[in-house]
Amino acid sequence: MPVLGRTRRFGRATLLAALGAVVALVAIAAVMLGPRLIGDEAERDHVAEFYTQPEGAADGAPGTLVRSERLDGALLGTTAWRIMYRTRDVDGRPVVATGIVATPDGTAPHDGRTVLAWAHPTTGVADACTPSRMFDPYLDVEGIRVMLDRGYTVVATDYVGMGTEGPDSYLVGVTAGNSVLDSVRAARALDGAHAGSKTVLWGHSQGGQAVLFAAERAKTYAPELTVLAAAVAAPAADLTALLGSHLDDLSGTTIGSYAFSAYSQVYAGRGARLDTVLTPAAIGILPQMNALCLLTQNKELHRIAAPVVGTFFAHNPESVEPWATLLRENSAGGRTFTAPLFVAQGAKDKLVLPADTERFVAHEKQQGMNVTYHSAADGDHGTVAYLSLPALTAWLNSVGA
């Protein structure tokens, strides 16, 4: 009995200690997250006003600021802003993009902080899908805490046409790459961001394509920037292979809805008519598909897309012009760059297939580029960026970024 009694007292003591630990963790979380969430909520009342584009907003040099505002809900130990800035589209026309900037508090290096330019994966193309406009604008910046703790100033573009007037730029490589590079310029123009010229590029999926085009174009488009490293996770590098793998499934219908709508607008002058590649049923669902956001409205996207799966494409885009040429032009690998490249791929990815990424890596290596390939054994398309963060940070250390 005495032994049993001691066991009971020990059990009660353990339970109390555990409850105390939980209470302490909740208290810590409240201290850390409370002010940020309160700030995020306070911004809801006026956030839409920020995205109203002033007359003549696009007029000015690429990378210059149209406007900025401090974010009340900044991450712990940081200062953050929402920004609107100028960039250029694939035809060289002035356009506007938005995004966020976050920088660690404290003294910055004398030559400024290295800038980490993040390019997000597909969220959709409607205004409601704009990452910087969301309740938590940091949520889609994969690894933001890790990068801030490295001392980087982080800038995350929304891309052209998301949340602002302008052409839809979904998977339009040059426009996307320009928006990434000009986001760095915009961060450098922001008082208090302490952004220097040294730059690291990091993107996932759609953002992987944007980063690869940014790295390929940096030397000529933004020569004042020093790109120390480029990193991508499950990049949409080869659009012909990507779409070819999903002609008859939900992924192909969703990606096709976003991409072919964008291309039909951007490349209308080159004969990019939807009725030359999509069926009438597919064309009929595009307005509904393009009004919805990926992940947050997947159930509705799948409901709309399901009836045309297998009959979305009238022809394989690879066999129809100008679509075949447009897919090649918007695939990465057309130019080499000197910055080291890190490519992460989930072995369980069913969207960007490992074999396609491995072919891209082999192509880049054949061109003489410095490429490090990391396979995440348990990674799928949604988790590969997070699962690869330890390998990415080790690689950044190894290349001096």
pLDDT per position as a tens digit, 378-400: 999 999 999 999 999 999 999 99
Residue 363 has pLDDT above 70, yes or no: yes
pLDDT confidence band for 47 (50 / 70 / 90) = confident
pLDDT per position as a tens digit, 184-210: 999 999 999 999 999 999 999 999 999
Structural contact between residues 68 and 82, judged by C-beta atoms closer than 8 angstroms: yes
Domain ranges of the chain: 1-43, 55-238+331-398, 239-328
Q: Mean pLDDT over all residues of the chain?
A: 91
* Closest-CA residue to 328 (of 338, 339, 340, 320): 320
Helix (H, G, I), strand (E, B) or coil at 220: helix
* Closest-CA residue to 70 (of 137, 119, 12): 137
Residues contacting 336, CB < 8 A, separation 6+:
216, 364, 367, 368, 369
Q: How many CA atoms lie within 13 A of 311 on its CB side?
A: 9
Q: What's the mean pLDDT in 97-106?
A: 98
CA dist., res. 314 & res. 296, Å (int): 29
pLDDT per position as a tens digit, 273-292: 999 999 999 999 999 999 99
Report residue 381 as tokens.
């398309």
pLDDT per position as a tens digit, 301-338: 999 999 999 999 999 999 999 999 999 999 999 999 99
* Closest-CA residue to 131 (of 154, 109, 162): 162
| Predicted pLDDT of residue 134 | 93
Q: How far is CA 322 from CA 269, 271, 300, 326, in A?
A: 11, 7, 31, 6
Residue 229 has pLDDT above 90, yes or no: yes
At how many degrees (to 10) do helices 250-266 and 280-290 cross?
A: 90
pLDDT confidence band for 7 (50 / 70 / 90) = very low
Q: Starting from the edge strand earliest in sequence, which strands make up the sheet with 78-88, in order?
A: 65-70, 78-88, 94-104, 153-157, 113-119, 195-204, 226-233, 341-346, 371-376
| HEC secondary structure over 283-299 | HHHHHHHHCCECCCCHH
Residue 4 has pLDDT above 50, yes or no: no
User: Which residues in 312-326 are b (16+ Cβ under 10 Å) and which e?
Assistant: bbbeebeeeebbeeb
User: Would you call 223 exposed, middle or buried from its count of C-beta atoms within 10 A (0-12, 13-18, 19+)?
Assistant: exposed
pLDDT per position as a tens digit, 107-139: 999 999 999 999 999 999 999 999 999 999 999
CA dist., res. 352 & res. 207, Å (int): 13
Q: What's the mean pLDDT in 361-388?
A: 98
Output the pTM of the full model.
Answer: 0.90
Question: Which residue bears the tokens 């900037």?
Answer: 101
- Comparing 131 with 28, the larger pLDDT belongs to 131
β partners of residue 331: none
Residues listed for the chain: 401
pLDDT confidence band for 166 (50 / 70 / 90) = confident
Q: What's the fold here for domain 55-238+331-398?
A: Rossmann fold (3.40.50)
How many C-beta neighbours within 10 Å does residue 147 have?
Answer: 25
pLDDT confidence band for 165 (50 / 70 / 90) = confident
Q: How far is CA 226 from CA 91, 153, 200, 201, in A?
A: 25, 15, 9, 11
